[in-house]
Structure 1
Amino acid sequence: MADQPATFAPSTEDIERLARAALARIPEPFAAHLADVVLLIEDFADEQTLAEMGMEDPFELTGLYSGRPVGEKSSFDIAALPDTIHLYRRPLLDEWVETGVSLEALVTHVVVHEVGHHFGLSDADMHALEDAAQ
């Protein structure tokens, strides 16, 4: 982001770079199970996703994990879609501006939260994982 003039909002690529850096800081034994998780950065969640989440305002959703938590997977699963972490750029940028939290810290928070869903972790466990990823 340092190479971008301050007059432009961080791009999808900027958010992805921050998210990949956050993923790289996830400690073992969690990191070993993230190699096949797909990371997608989009401006907003689509209408179907928002409806499934019971949301009308697309700015409410900053991230989403889709897939089955690691502990629920089975060798009998039929060719499922890959586990995916979705980050939604525009809601992230709005929260960044509204809260004053650094964009890196915000993206890390959302990434860790979604990784937590991948592992079926509780909120307390996610906070501990986030602290380890700082």
Structure 2
Amino acid sequence: MSDHGQPPLFPPTRAEIESLALAALGRLPDPFRSHLFNVVLFVEEFADDQVLKEMGIDDPFGLTGLYSGRPVGEPAQTGDSPPTVHLFRRPLLDEWVETGVPLDVLITHVVVHEIGHHFGLSDLDMQVLEDMVSS
């Protein structure tokens, strides 16, 4: 995101966050990638108030990503919306600054976690998948 090792002058945009997320999705092993054709990715500034309320989260900076939809293998219902992954830019940037974790690594972590819900993976399975994508 920056040239010659210099820190960026401006925070990454939604488009830059989306680009990092799509790159992370592209590194998923094929058995997973082939089941993502109908998953829609959104990058928003924050989760909306309704989502935060439903999840019992008071601080809008407390949610970096969200998966919505039926996991792979569950039968679709008439009227189902496509599965979605939402990334929340401002909380991601806050976590990036607070932790010092490289932004691409942080976004990969959140993307793999949310996609893990699409596949019904356990936290341990998500960690194994993240290790595969990160190496």
TMscore range, shorter length: over 0.9
* Structure 1 portions without partners, runs of 5+: none
- Report the Cα distance in structure 1 between the residues aligned to 2:22 and 2:54, rounded to whole angstroms: 27
Count, aligned residues = 132
1:73: Cα distance to partner? 2.5
Secondary structure in 2 matching 1:97? helix
- Report the Cα distance in structure 2 between the residues aligned to 1:87 and 1:36, rounded to whole angstroms: 17
Q: List aligned pairs for 1:1-134, cutoff 5 A.
A: 1-2=1-2, 6-74=8-76, 77-134=77-134
TM-score (norm 2): 0.93
Q: What is the RMSD of the two structures over their aligned residues, measured on CA atoms? A: 1.4
Look up the equivalent residue of 1:53 and give its one-letter code. Answer: M
Look up the equivalent residue of 2:87 and give its one-letter code. Answer: L
List, as ranges, runs of 4+ consecutive aligned residues in structure 1 with deviation greater than 6 Å.
none
- Report the Cα distance in structure 2 between the residues aligned to 1:87 and 1:8, rounded to whole angstroms: 19
Percentage identity across aligned positions? 64
TM-score (norm 1): 0.94
Look up the equivalent residue of 1:69 and give its one-letter code. Answer: P
- Report the Cα distance in structure 2 between the residues aligned to 1:40 and 1:133, rounded to whole angstroms: 20
1:19: Cα distance to partner? 0.1
1:105: Cα distance to partner? 0.1
Look up the equivalent residue of 1:109 and give its one-letter code. Answer: H
